[in-house]
Chains A and B, each alone.
Chain A
Amino acid sequence: EVQLVESGGGLVKPGGSLRLSCAGSGFTFSNVWMSWVRQAPGKGLEWVGRIKSKSDGETADYTAPVNGRFTISRDDSKNTLYLQMNSLKTEDTAVYYCTTIKYWGQGTLVTVSS
């Protein structure tokens, strides 16, 4: 059974940093491009970014609102995806999901507030 389990969410002040993790199991993690998608309270889904597999270069791409502030990385030895979020803004408040596109984690809530 495929599982994606996010962790690391919480309350952070504007300008602060947070690192999210996503542990994958039940599939060959190293072969899969992984992504982060977020959903602000009561709003729709928004793509954050993705990281390719190592065999495809392990490069990461980001949407404009987070480019330069967020960094996606992966540790295939631990089957874990990361999202490092810096210079957080109130508008980054959302549930953050990791996803293979087909499979999704349950999400972790990030609240940016003073």
Chain B
Amino acid sequence: DIQMTQSPSSLSASVGDRVTITCRASQGIRNDLGWYQQKPGKAPKRLIYAASSLQSGVPSRFSGSGSGTEFTLTISSLQPEDFATYYCLQQNSFPPTFGQGTKVEIK
């Protein structure tokens, strides 16, 4: 199975901060990566697909980049509603595998 190593596992940030989360794949996955946001008690919501494509309806402060083994999710200016846990997901090969998650908390 492809291992997805996500970092950091948690971070504290203030409203307006720029936040970057990284996922590293154990082998190349082209751009077959998505980013998801999950709030407590809710289902995940896809933010980014194909590494850098913004899901319709998702604010433009979210962006994704990377290819191969290194990927990043960036929130350009953190908003109160962005405090949540974020996961990456690779779909290059079966089984699809998630990163372990990054919890974004209020500083």
Asked if A47 and B43 make an inter-chain contact with CB atoms under 8 angstroms apart, the answer reads: no
B78 vs chain A, min Cβ distance (A): 22
Interface centre among B34, B42, B44, B89 (most CB of A within 10 A): B44
- Give B45 Cβ to nearest chain A Cβ, in Å: 7
Question: Size band of the B side of the interface?
Answer: 20 to 34
- Top 7 closest pairs, chain A to chain B, by CB: A104-B43, A45-B98, A63-B95, A44-B101, A47-B96, A47-B95, A44-B100
* CB-CB nearest in chain A for B55: A102
Is the CB of A105 closer than 8 A to any CB of chain B? yes
Most B CB within 10 A of own CB, among A44, A45, A46, A97: A45
Chain B 57-74: CB-based contact to A (< 8 A → 1; otherwise 0): 000000000000000000
Contact A101 B98 (CB under 8 A): no
Contact of B43 with A102 in the complex, beta carbons under 8 Å: no
